[in-house]
């Protein structure tokens, strides 16, 4: 396989970003070209610094009102753009420029618990409140609507009534760490 390039987007802690970086560290056919974040103080920046990965912070203007980020992406020519805990809606100019090349991970079994405001612990709180006996992850293509692109992969975990919100979050994170890098790898292999 020719070397494939991934660009990752994240908004917060970046534990998925770190997991993906580590997964591909020893695989010469996949390179993490860079990590982009919309939070200047996001923990993901510390992780990238420690792991020696290029990282860039951008603001709303650069992302939504200009072609600045689009131009950076076009220059880098990524084989896949991966949203790993990224909370802004991706503008249409970027979606149009990278058809079927942008994927997202959502911490629930879509179409349940998707849409604006449904991210991170908000999702797990809703799962707990509704007394669901399962939750999981959804990896999907990104389109103009929050969490509505075609589903690529889902995985489930059991939830018991004793599980607190942080227990549900931990179960879902464990699924993310296990499945997300492998799904990324499969998508790259299939290109």
| Residues classed as catalytic | 106
User: 113, 123 in Cβ contact below 8 A?
Assistant: yes
Nearest approach in angstroms of CB 85 to ligand GAR is 3
Which 3 state secondary structure label does DSSP give 92?
helix
Which of residues 15 and 154 has its CB atom nearest to ligand GAR in the complex? 15
User: 20, 182 in Cβ contact below 8 A?
Assistant: no
Q: Is the dihedral of CA 176, 180, 182, 186 positive or negative?
A: positive
Nearest approach in angstroms of CB 166 to ligand GAR is 12
Q: Is 131 exposed, middle or buried (0-12, 13-18, 19+ CB in 10 A)?
A: exposed
Rounded CA separation 191/189 (Å): 6
Which 3 state secondary structure label does DSSP give 32?
strand
Q: Which residue stretch of 22-30, 61-69, 92-100, 105-113 sits at the interface with ligand GAR (rule: CB under 6 A)? A: 105-113
Nearest approach in angstroms of CB 75 to ligand GAR is 26
Nearest approach in angstroms of CB 84 to ligand GAR is 5
Rounded CA separation 104/86 (Å): 8
Show the binding pattern over residues 118-137: x = contacts ligand GAR (CB under 6 A), - = does not. -xx-----------------
Tell me the residue nearest to ligand GAR as measured from the CB: 85
- Asked whether position 103 contacts ligand GAR by CB under 6 A, the answer is no
By the criterion CB under 6 A, which residues form the site for ligand GAR? 10, 12-16, 84-85, 105-107, 119-120, 173, 176
């Amino acid at each position: 396989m020719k070397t494939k390039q991934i660009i990752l987007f994240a908004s917060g802690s970046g534990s998925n970003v770190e997991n993906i970086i580590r997964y591909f560290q020893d695989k010469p056919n996949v390179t993490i070209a860079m990590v982009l974040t919309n939070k200047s103080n996001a923990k993901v920046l510390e992780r990238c610094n420690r792991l020696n990965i290029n990282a860039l912070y951008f603001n709303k203007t650069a992302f939504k009102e200009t072609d600045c980020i689009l131009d950076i992406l076009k220059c880098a020519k990524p084989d896949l753009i991966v949203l790993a805990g990224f909370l802004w809606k991706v503008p249409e100019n970027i979606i149009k420029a990278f058809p079927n090349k942008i994927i997202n991970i959502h911490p629930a079994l879509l179409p349940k618990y998707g849409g604006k405001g449904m991210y991170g612990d908000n999702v797990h709180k809703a799962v707990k409140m509704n007394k669901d006996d399962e939750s999981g992850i959804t990896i999907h293509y990104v389109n103009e609507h929050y969490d509505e692109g075609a589903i690529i992969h889902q995985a489930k975990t059991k939830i018991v009534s004793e599980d607190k919100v942080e227990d549900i979050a931990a179960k879902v994170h464990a699924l993310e760490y296990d499945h997300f890098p492998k799904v990324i790898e499969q998508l790259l292999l299939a290109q």
